[in-house]
Structure 1
Amino acid sequence: MSAAPATPASYDPIFNLAARILLAAVFLVNGYLKLTGYSGTVGYMGKVGLPLPEVMAILAIVIELGGGLLLVIGWRTRWAAWLLILFVVIATFTAHRFWSVEAARWFGEMNNFLKNAAIIGGLLLVATYGPGALSVEKR
């Protein structure tokens, strides 16, 4: 007896997991870089005008590493996605204000702004539809 042919719907759990891992990679890598370059992170946060840059750096590290890990394992994913959406919105409007930079930086900041908007789009899908079958929540 042969197995039923694969259908697009049969790939959903795998694609959902892949999407969560790809989204999480952004936060895990950036959280790790903020952690290992902590003094630079604090300096940057002060430069963009955030109050209490030491506290903000720690908060960013915890949100990125914690939220990224929750996305990968698929536990509390909707909550994690909403937290990461809030984080990305704040980071985007704090650090990538392309409309207020000199011409030499305009393209890079606009590009980062739009990339962050795309990340928010992916997180909105996770927040709306949940982690999928291949997750701790579904076990």
Structure 2
Amino acid sequence: MKFLPLAGRILFALIFVLSGVNHIAGAGADMAAASGVPAAGVLVPVAGLLAFAGGLSILLGYKAKIGAWLIVLFIVPVTIALHKFWAFTDPMQQQIHMAMFMKNLALLGGALLIAYFGAGPVSLDARAAAKA
């Protein structure tokens, strides 16, 4: 059972590590700009750094509580700025953005759980605590 938090961390962190790399490279800046995000060419790579650093921290279980707060800092503004499902009149677009909004709420919930409980027993954080 002690490996369940490790599996959960890996599955949770993958989306942030992989998309973080893409955002650092500027992917998604056009979509963000079209959604009204100011200075999207700068803010998207910065958001990518938050996502990548937070995801890597959680993946490794190193300072995972801090990494989870980085994910919170990433996901809240991204969700509000880019997935305004209530602003779409096209039913298909509205449904797609509502699904993305709800997915991000679920990810936010996971990040808050990690921010509270930490990385779990199989992590660099647990290893450091055992040495102390």
Does the pair score TM above 0.5?
yes
State how far apart, in whole Å, the 2-side matches of 1:50 and 1:94 are. Answer: 7
Counterparts of residues 118-129 of structure 1 (less than 5 Å): 118-129=106-117
One of 65, 73, 96 as aligned partner of 2:52? 65
What is the Cα deviation at residue 41 of structure 1? Answer: 2.3
Please name the residue that 1:8 is paired with: none
Instruction: Name which one, 1 or 2, has greater alpha-carbon Rg.
Output: 1
Match of 2:32, as an amino acid?
Answer: M
Q: How many angstroms apart in 2 are the aligned matches of 1:83 and 1:65? A: 9
Whether the aligned pair in 1 keeps the contact of 2:84 and 2:97 (CA below 8 Å) is yes
Contact residue 45 and residue 56 of structure 1 kept, 8 A: no
Look up the equivalent residue of 1:108 and give its one-letter code.
I
Q: Map of 1:30-45 to 2, 5 A cutoff?
A: 30-36=19-25, 38=26, 40-45=27-32
Number of the residue aligned with 1:80: 67
Provide the residue aligned with 1:7 in structure 2: none
Distance 1:114 1:41 in 2: 19
TM-score by length of 1: 0.84
Instruction: Give the structure 1 partner of residue 13 of structure 2.
Output: 24
Alpha-carbon contact 1:92-1:113 (below 8 Å) kept: yes
Q: CA RMSD, aligned part only? A: 1.4
The size of the alignment, in residue pairs, is: 126
Matched, 1:135 2:123: yes
The C-alpha deviation readout for 1:2-47, integer Å capped at 9, x for no partner, is xxxxxxxxx0x211111111110111121133345x2x42222211
- The residue number in structure 2 matching 1:98 is 85
